[in-house]
Structure 1
C-alpha cells in the first residue's frame, strides 16, 4: 500500500501568475511538504468558477498573463504550457511534485465540447443539456453554469474516454504527477479502471486522489477499489467523540490511504472557526497528520487567514496580513510524519478513555505490526491537565517506548506514564517491535 503524502494546496487565484507560485516554493519546502496541489487552472465558462471548465487545454489568463483578460486565450497556450513545465521543474528541484485538480463529470455549460460532441452529454427529455446538482436538505439544487457529462452511457463512449485519457497524459507530459479527481464518486468506476492504469503505464510515478467527501459508504469503497492511490477523509468534521468517524475508519482504513485537512476551498477557514486560536490550529493539524496517512493544508492556514476561499471571486487582493505564523510547527510535525511508517498509514484506532473524556487519546499500529503509537491530546482551549496512562508498556507491547513529540519531549517514558498537557498540546509516544 502506498505511503502517505504531505500536500500544500496553493490556491492559484489567491496567488496569481504562475511565476508567483514559485515564489512560495522555498517556504513550502521548508515546511516539509512533498506535494503542491493546485485547483483547476483551465479557462472557465461564463460563471468564472474554477470548477466550471470551458476548455481543458486553455488556461485562465490570470496564471499566464497576470490579468483578467479573457480575450483570445488561444494566443497564450504555448506560454501557459511552458510556465506549467517551469512550475513542475521548480517544484521538482525542491523535492516536491505538482498535483492538479481535474473535473471530468461535468464541463462549463458553454463549453465548445457540447457543440463538437453533443453525444458526450446527458440530455433532458427535450434535448437540452442537463445541469448536475445535489440535495440541499430537502431541496434539489441545480448548478446552472454546468453541463453533465454522460461518461456511463454516451453513444460515443470510447472517444469520450479517450479524450479524458489524452488530457491526463498531456498534463503528465508537462510534468504534473498527481491528480485530485473532483467528485470521483460521480464518475463510473469503470472509467477510472480504464484511465488510471493507462496513465500509469506511461507515467508510473503518477498518483490519483479520489475526492469522496459527502458520498455514501459504498461509493467510497467503489472509488477506493477503482485504482485510486488515495481517498478523502472526513476527520476535519470529527469532534473526537462521536462514533461515526470511528465507524468510517473501520470501513475504509485498509482499503486505501486517506487524506485529511483542517480546511479547504469549500469550508470556512479554521482560524475563523476557532477565533484565531493558533494552539487549536496546530493541534488540529497534528491529530490529522497522526491519524490519517496523508495531510493537506490550504495556503494561508499557516498564517491564520480568516477569509473563506471563493471559487469565483477570490483574487490576489484577498491575501491577508498574518494573524500568526505556525510554519515552524507544521515543519516539525511533517518531519516526524515522514520518518515513521505508522504515521504514513491508515489503520484502526483504539480510543483511550482519559480524564472522563476531557482529554483525547488513541493507539494505532502499523500495518506490518512492527510499529505502534499512542497519541495524547488536550483539546481544551484553556487549562492544563495531567494525563495518566497506566500499563503503557502493555498497550505498546514492549518496554522500548520513546517520546517523539515535536515539543516538550520526555527523556524517559515509564510504564505508568504521566504528563502535564497544555491546551492544544499533542504528545506522541512511539514503539518499535
Structure 2
C-alpha cells in the first residue's frame, strides 16, 4: 500500500565508488522530482567491503492467487465462483522449483487475517460489513486480527494456523527464508482479535473515545461525529446493513474527518503511536505509548513461530522512534530476523536505517522510477548515475531493488512497457548495480499481463489484490487444474514464456554465484565514455560500470534502446584499473558469463569493443 510521497527539493553529491549496494529489483518512477547539481569530480574512491552479503533474492507471492487453478475469472466473482489459493497449494515441489530458480527468501503476501466479504461466521469469525471492505476478497492491508491468519487460505478453517505453520516448515525444509507483511499504520475498521493470546488487550480496548487524542489510546477519534461511508462506495451484496461507527475514527491515510473520500483508505483506521496530528504533530513518547507495546508483542508473536522477516507496510507513516525502540528488542530475541521498510521519501532513508534500525528499504523513488522511464522510451541513463550517487556510501547496500510488486503495474501491461522483454537491461542493472537485495513479483518472470477489470481493482495494469482471481500465465507454469494437482513444471507455458523465465533464472544464478556482484565495489564508467571519447556511445541509452572484488572483476554494459544496436568501444580509465588493482598497460580477456558467452581480447588502454542489440546486456569477466 502506498500514498503520494514528498521528494527533496535538491541535494548535492560527488562522484565516487562505493561497496555495498543497491540491487535487487528495480523500481523507478520520478527522478525528475530531484534537482541535482552538476558533478564536481570524475574521481572515484573506494569504501571498505562488508563481509556479510546483503544480496538476498526475494520472491513475492500473493498467497491467495499463487495456487488458484480456477479459470472462471468472473468480475466481482465470489470465492466459490473464482476460487482461491491455499497454504497447502504451495507444496514442497513448488518450493523446490523456487529454490532452483535462485530464490533465497519468499515473501508471502496476505497472510495475517484481514477484512473480507466471504462469511466465515460459522467458524466463529465475525462477518465484515461490505461497506468498509474493498473487493470481495478484501485488502490484505486492512488487518482484522493481528494474531490470526486469513481463513480464505485454509483448507480446514479451524486449523488455519496449523496450515500456515506447516507452510513455514516446508519453506525452511527447502532452504527458503519466510517474510510476511507487518501492517503497523492502520487496521480494518472492524478490527477485533478473536485469536489473541490470553491476557492480551485488544486494539482500542480501554480507549477514552471522548478525546480526539490521548497517548494512551490506540486510535484517534472524532467525538460527536459518526462515520459516514464515502460517496460512491458500491458493494456486490444484495442487502447491506449500514455500517455504524460512533464516534468516527481517523482513517488510515491520515484523514481526520468523519467522511473520507472514495480514494482514501476508507476501509482502515489510523493507529495512534503518540503523535498528536491535530496539534502540530506534538509527540508523546514518554511513557511508552500503549500502541508501541502491543505492536512489539505482535512482532514477537510471529517471530516466535519462525517467520524470518517482516516487510513493513508504509513504515514512514509510523514514527521512526517506534522502530528504533521495537526492532532492537525483536532482534535481541531473534537476531536473524530482518526488517524491510516500504518507504517513499529519500530524505528519510538514513533516518529509518540508522535511527529506525531497518535492514532494507524499498528503492521506489530512485532506481525504479529512473529505469521505468527508460523502459517506457523516455528518460536517460544519466539518471542512474544520479541515483547511485544519492544512495552511495554507508547505506547503498540497504536498498532493495525491483521492477514489480503488488503496488506497481506489470511490465508487460499496456500501462507500462507492453513487452516483458523490455525488462532485460533494467532487471539486469537492478540486480547487479550494487550489493543490496533483489525482489521479483510472482509471474513477473512469465510476463503476466492483466487485461481486464477483475472487480474492485479495475483494469489498471496491476494484478488484483482485492478480488478472487486466477492468473492465467502463472497457472500455465503451475500446470494443474481444479481436478488435478499442480506439477509446477511450466508444462503449459509458451516457448516465449519459457525463454523469459530462463532469463530470470540465469540472472538469479549470476547474482547468487558472482563474488563481485555479491560483495564487490562499484565504479561508474559513464564519465569516461561519450560520443567524443567513444564514438557510437549513446550516454542517454547505454550504461556501463564495473563491479569488482579481490576474486572477480566484471564490466557490465546495458543497452536500453528499443530499436538501435549499440556498436562502440567502452573506455576504462586509468583510475579504474588502479581501483581494481590491475595493471592498466596489459592485454585482458573479456568473457560474457551471463547470456551471449561472447569472448574478446583488448589492451587496457584501448577500451573494449562491444556490440549490443536493442534491449540487451553484456556481463564481461575481466581476466
| Aligned with residue 463 of structure 2, among 309, 334, 347 | 309
After TM superposition, list the pairs within 5 Å mapping 1:210-359 onto structure 2. 210-213=341-344, 215=345, 217-225=346-354, 226-234=356-364, 235-238=367-370, 239=373, 241=380, 246-253=385-392, 254-255=394-395, 256-273=397-414, 277-292=419-434, 293-307=436-450, 308-316=462-470, 321=476, 322=493, 324-325=497-498, 326-344=500-518, 350-352=524-526, 353=529, 355-357=537-539, 359=541
Identify if the C-alpha distance between structure 1 residues 35 and 372 changes in structure 2 by more than 3 Å, giving closer, same or farther: same
Identify if the C-alpha distance between structure 1 residues 243 and 425 changes in structure 2 by more than 3 Å, giving closer, same or farther: closer
- 2:612 paired residue number: 421
Identify if the C-alpha distance between structure 1 residues 248 and 345 changes in structure 2 by more than 3 Å, giving closer, same or farther: farther
- More displaced stretch, 400-409 vs 27-36: 400-409
- More displaced stretch, 323-332 vs 259-268: 323-332
Cα deviation for residue 390 of structure 1 reads 3.0
Cα deviation for residue 345 of structure 1 reads 6.1
Cα deviation for residue 157 of structure 1 reads 4.4
Alignment pair present for 1:9 and 2:54? no
Q: As a proportion of its length, which structure holds more strand?
A: 1
| Aligned with residue 173 of structure 2, among 69, 87, 93 | 93
- 2:296 paired residue number: 165
**2: CA distance, partners of 1:130 / 1:32:** 43
Check conservation: 2:523, 2:576, Cα contact below 8 A. no
Check conservation: 2:114, 2:141, Cα contact below 8 A. yes
Give TM-score, length-normalised by structure 1. Answer: 0.86
**1: CA distance, partners of 2:307 / 2:421:** 35
Identify if the C-alpha distance between structure 1 residues 286 and 391 changes in structure 2 by more than 3 Å, giving closer, same or farther: closer
Check conservation: 1:40, 1:102, Cα contact below 8 A. no
Identify if the C-alpha distance between structure 1 residues 403 and 124 changes in structure 2 by more than 3 Å, giving closer, same or farther: farther
Cα deviation for residue 85 of structure 1 reads 2.3
Identify if the C-alpha distance between structure 1 residues 63 and 200 changes in structure 2 by more than 3 Å, giving closer, same or farther: same
Cα deviation for residue 389 of structure 1 reads 1.1
**1: CA distance, partners of 2:515 / 2:168:** 27
- 2:211 paired residue number: none
- 1:116 paired residue number: 205
Can you list the C-alpha shifts for 1:256-283, whole angstroms capped at 9, x where unaligned?
A: 5211111111111111146653432333
Give TM-score, length-normalised by structure 2. Answer: 0.61
Check conservation: 1:3, 1:341, Cα contact below 8 A. no
Check conservation: 1:133, 1:141, Cα contact below 8 A. no
Alignment pair present for 1:58 and 2:240? no
- More displaced stretch, 10-19 vs 396-405: 396-405
Alignment pair present for 1:180 and 2:311? yes
Name the SS for the 1:197 alignment partner: helix
Cα deviation for residue 364 of structure 1 reads 4.6
- More displaced stretch, 94-103 vs 322-331: 322-331
Check conservation: 1:378, 1:422, Cα contact below 8 A. yes
Check conservation: 2:112, 2:147, Cα contact below 8 A. yes
Check conservation: 1:276, 1:304, Cα contact below 8 A. no
Identify if the C-alpha distance between structure 1 residues 116 and 244 changes in structure 2 by more than 3 Å, giving closer, same or farther: farther
- 2:557 paired residue number: 376
Structure 2 residue runs of 5 or longer lacking an equivalent are 1-49, 67-84, 116-127, 193-201, 208-216, 225-246, 256-260, 276-283, 375-379, 451-461, 477-492, 531-536
Identify if the C-alpha distance between structure 1 residues 413 and 295 changes in structure 2 by more than 3 Å, giving closer, same or farther: farther
Cα deviation for residue 244 of structure 1 reads 5.4
| Aligned with residue 410 of structure 1, among 583, 592, 598 | 598
Alignment pair present for 1:395 and 2:576? yes
- 2:248 paired residue number: 128
Identify if the C-alpha distance between structure 1 residues 265 and 350 changes in structure 2 by more than 3 Å, giving closer, same or farther: same
Across the aligned residues of Structure 1 and Structure 2, the Cα RMSD in angstroms comes to: 3.0
The structure with the larger Rg is: 2
**2: CA distance, partners of 1:428 / 1:280:** 18
Identify if the C-alpha distance between structure 1 residues 347 and 411 changes in structure 2 by more than 3 Å, giving closer, same or farther: closer
- 2:122 paired residue number: none
- 1:19 paired residue number: 88
- 2:480 paired residue number: none
The count of corresponding residues between Structure 1 and Structure 2 is 416
Q: As a proportion of its length, which structure holds more helix?
A: 1
Check conservation: 1:365, 1:372, Cα contact below 8 A. yes
**2: CA distance, partners of 1:94 / 1:233:** 29
Check conservation: 1:342, 1:364, Cα contact below 8 A. no
**2: CA distance, partners of 1:43 / 1:167:** 13
- 1:40 paired residue number: 110
